[in-house]
Amino acid sequence: MPLTGAAVEALRDHFARQMQEIGDEYEDWGLVFASQTGNTISASNVVGCRFKPLLKLAKLPRIRLHDLRHTCATLLLIKGVHPRYVQELLGHANISITLDIYSHVIPVMGNQTVNAMEEIFT
């Protein structure tokens, strides 16, 4: 999956911090986010012990972790990213799933169509 430079840097920083904090019992399973022993972290632990406290600390409203996925897809579509790429990022089996879920964003993209037509014909 292609990542932004900022995302790569943040993940490298996270990995470096994780390597400093872990003990000798750490087993490298190749996970980006792992427990102190290198194993997977349960979803409920991520949400309850990490995500919700971060929202509170940042004084943000309570949302589901899954809402970040929807926000990402919506913002990408608004910025003009082709729905096929959004589909691939989200892992939807086919484009109709992506378009059905995010069709509310498509009208916003209508101006891009008009602008493109004006560019073509002027």
- The three-state secondary structure class of 24 is coil
Q: pTM of this prediction? A: 0.72
Stretches where the chain sits below pLDDT 70 are: 23, 108-109
Measured from the Cβ of residue 110, the count of other Cβ atoms closer than 10 Å reads 9
pLDDT one-digit tens code per residue, 20-35: 877 677 788 888 888 8
Q: What is the pLDDT of residues 70-84, one digit of tens each?
A: 999 999 988 888 899
Question: Per-domain residue ranges for the chain?
Answer: 63-122
Whole-Å CA distances, 72 to 61, 79, 89, 115: 17, 11, 10, 24
